[in-house]
Structure 1
Amino acid sequence: MAHLDWDGAREQGKEDKKWILVNLQDMSDFNCQALNRDIWKDEAVRQLVSEHFLFLQFSKDDPRADQYVTFYLPNGQHENPDNYPHVSIVDPRTGEQVKVWSGRPFPSASAFHAELVEFLDRYSLAAHSKNPIVKTKRPERVLDVDRMTEEEMLEMALQNSLESNGNAKPSVYDPDELTRSFLADDGDKGKGKATAGEEEAAAAAEPSAFSRIASDRPHVEPENDPQTTTRIQFRHPDGRVIRRFRLDDRVARLYEWLKAEPLEGREGVEFELKVMPQGHDLMEDLDKTVEEAGLKQGTVMIEFLEE
């Protein structure tokens, strides 16, 4: 945890090229306290955060949080209990809030770790890097009550009733999710759509490296020998699994094992393997040995590529 004020954190983040990860807490909310127990003490999360982020944790009433609250939770949003737990990522160079987790349910430790890895895959603080463009929130439609139909008025009354009974939704939105939704919208509208000829060429293209990996070669664990074998921990959204491999096994064997013996409920789902905590994609190292790829006693994150 970085014991810095907001301006100091931004300066430090720019100097170290680290994102600012902020956890604003309501200490009367058990779910906020559970983050300390389940998320911030998770070893994989701790390693990833330590390497790529400056971590700030404030109580909502802490004077050091005043600037953050003013900039990112205006109009008393920090008093809305539905906005907790609240965690966000801020670009130290511009002060732009680029990712937000706000409200319940909060991801599990393994899922949160996977989302951080996925974020680091798409965003970078390197000079001249092109990050996804964060879109502004679509303006909400202004309702003219005098022109509303009876059905619309009933719907509005029902929504107001739900909110008054403590079922209000968080008032904080995730700009990163908006980025993804806008990109999806653009795709649906055909923006940048390929021509018929380009589509035919794409269809005729060679299969991906992942699809070329064999799926009929189950893994048989070798006998334990510290000189020639190693245990590798595989973390995934539903937990973790540990397997033993030979140090001279090719990295491709990891993929072959998971394709031949997929995790329950993940049959046929394409996946990526990332070395933790660096987040390096092992698809680039298929022909290296386990030892050459630095996987001895290593940890690998399984990320499933599904909607």
Structure 2
Amino acid sequence: MSSIVDTDALLQFIQVTNADPPIAHDYLEFAKGDVELAISLFLGNDGAPLNTGSTASGGHHSPPSPSLTRSIDHTAQDDIRAPLAPRREVLVDTPAPYAPFAPSSVYSPVASVAPEAPRRSIFDQLPRAPRAQEAFRDFAAESSALEGGATSEASKVNRLADLFRPPFDLIQNLPLDQARAAARSESKWVMINLQKVSEFACQVLNRDIWSNELVKPIIQQNFVFLQFANDSDEGTRYTSFYPVLRYPHVAILDPRTGERVKEWSHITNPADFVEELTEFLDLRAWKQGSAAKRPRRPEPTERTPADMTEDEQLAAAIAASMQGTSSTEEADQPPPVPSSSFSASSKPTERPDEETEMRETATPDHYSDSEDQDVSETNQRDGAYHAIPADEGTEPPADPTTTTRVQFRLPDGSRVVRRFRKDDPVRTLVSFVKARVPQAAEEAISIMYHRENLLEKLDQTVTEAGLLNASVTVGA
């Protein structure tokens, strides 16, 4: 062994590189005993042996490559190690978990390397192609991280993500134009929630309002629900047509005209929000359309006898005579009709018997019959109402398959939410109301849902009456 190669240097080289002793000896001899330089050469040469022949047979050393020689000379002159061999790699953005308070670009350390895609927010629910980097996910590493337990910070982020998750079960992945077309075909309204990621109040909507069990059914049944970020494509397009002053922004659009008929910028109580939605649906029935666009009914104008036909003149005379029956003089006098309005074929003096006969036969018997029928139905309904005992009963345990929640707005303005079985008759709800409202035990009160009096549906079940997760108004 050459005196240049020290035994300790040889052992150190072998310990670091795990190379064979002959190869280690050749590199140390070539580097003139410099261990660091020999290791750098070994790594830069990918561990290839410098001696192509056998050292025992006295073979000649293969000459190193010119680039390696230049690297050694340069290193020897500057007394520093040789530079590492250049490697070319491509960095890929790792898919970030859902973050409710920051855009996904925060999790991209190399976002500036790749061409920037159009900005998308977590609240922009339009259909999109799967991201290319999903193919490079390290599922083994993710699995081991899950099995070994994530860090406390990651666990906290996941909990927040679940807590403030957007209402994907309500959101329909449609642009605004397609949403309006779908709403028209289904006779529904369009509800838009415009979110701003930096506003915490927007996240509160996802946590407290859209996830509420009273809010979900009324939206699913009556609205096409959209949720956009204010800086998304659809959000920017919406704000170009409808000015938005504050966030969060919730609005209802008429899909037929595009008119924004109602708007909210502050929603904190689910019960109040359900009440406002119920009032909106009651006042703006779909067939009636927007009240602002409803044509005004023309005011009735008085017609002169000259514009009347013979039958109309006779009917007017009979009506005038019936109104004046309380006064004998007014009853005997003909109605004040100008003589010029009567034609030669309709002289009132020639038909006194016919007028008297019709006056006698035109009694309000048919009106009294209908009034008696209405009174009878009212008495029958009141009798059924008073026959129902006042009893709150026992609230069943929560079971989404067999129970539902009903909200009552009482006459004093308070609200009560209670669970009922889906197969309970409506009279069970009436019994509960009579127990909670003192005046309800003395006189019949109205219990309305969507302009329908529930006293007319006493024998129907809660499901048949459409009262699943309903908001009922109790009148005084």
Q: TM-score, normalised by structure 2?
A: 0.38
Residue 173 of structure 2 aligns with which residue? 3
Residue 134 of structure 2 aligns with which residue? none
Does 2:246 match 1:88? Answer: no
Residue 278 of structure 2 aligns with which residue? 117
Residue 221 of structure 1 aligns with which residue? 393
Residue 291 of structure 2 aligns with which residue? 133
Q: Deviations over 1:206-225 (max 9, x none)?
A: 7899987439932163798x
How many angstroms does 1:97 deviate by?
0.9
SS at match of 1:43: coil
Distance 1:40 1:234 in 2: 17
Distance 1:119 1:36 in 2: 22
Residue 240 of structure 1 aligns with which residue? 417
Q: 1:271 to 1:72 in 2, by over 3 A?
A: farther
Check conservation: 2:188, 2:222, Cα contact below 8 A.
yes
Residue 461 of structure 2 aligns with which residue? 290
Residue 22 of structure 2 aligns with which residue? none
Distance 1:209 1:302 in 2: 23
Aligned identity (percent) is 29
Q: Deviations over 1:85-139 (max 9, x none)?
A: 211100111101111112x3x14112212222222222233xxx2235238xxxx
Q: 1:38 to 1:48 in 2, by over 3 A?
A: same
Distance 1:269 1:61 in 2: 54
| 1:1-307 alignment runs, 5 A limit | 1-73=171-243, 78=244, 80=245, 83-102=246-265, 104=266, 106-125=267-286, 129-134=287-292, 213-214=385-386, 217-219=389-391, 221=393, 233-236=405-408, 238=415, 240-243=417-420, 251-262=426-437, 272-274=447-449, 281=452, 283=454, 285-290=456-461, 293=464, 298-305=468-475
Distance 2:388 2:210 in 1: 39
Residue 151 of structure 1 aligns with which residue? none
Unaligned runs of at least 5 residues, structure 2: 1-170, 301-373, 397-401, 410-414
What letter matches 1:233 in structure 2? R
Distance 2:200 2:379 in 1: 46
Distance 1:241 1:93 in 2: 37
Q: 1:295 to 1:56 in 2, by over 3 A?
A: closer
Number of paired residues?
Answer: 217
Distance 1:272 1:223 in 2: 20
Distance 2:237 2:190 in 1: 14
Check conservation: 1:19, 1:53, Cα contact below 8 A.
yes
Give the superposed CA RMSD: 4.3
Check conservation: 2:212, 2:270, Cα contact below 8 A.
yes
- Structure having the higher helix fraction is 2
Check conservation: 1:21, 1:53, Cα contact below 8 A.
yes
Higher RCO, Cα 8 Å, sep 6+: 1
Distance 2:280 2:419 in 1: 25
Distance 1:22 1:295 in 2: 25
What letter matches 1:133 in structure 2? A
Check conservation: 2:251, 2:262, Cα contact below 8 A.
yes
Q: Deviations over 1:182-224 (max 9, x none)?
A: xxxxxxxxx99xxxxxxxxxxxx97899987439932163798
Q: 1:300 to 1:273 in 2, by over 3 A?
A: farther
Q: 1:243 to 1:223 in 2, by over 3 A?
A: closer
Distance 1:208 1:31 in 2: 51
Q: 1:59 to 1:270 in 2, by over 3 A?
A: farther
How many angstroms does 1:292 deviate by?
8.2
- Structure having the higher strand fraction is 1
Check conservation: 1:221, 1:243, Cα contact below 8 A.
no
Q: TM-score, normalised by structure 1?
A: 0.56
Residue 144 of structure 1 aligns with which residue? none
Check conservation: 1:216, 1:260, Cα contact below 8 A.
no
What letter matches 1:261 in structure 2? R
SS at match of 1:259: helix
Q: Deviations over 1:43-90 (max 9, x none)?
A: 3322221222111111222221223212220xxxx3x4xx22211100
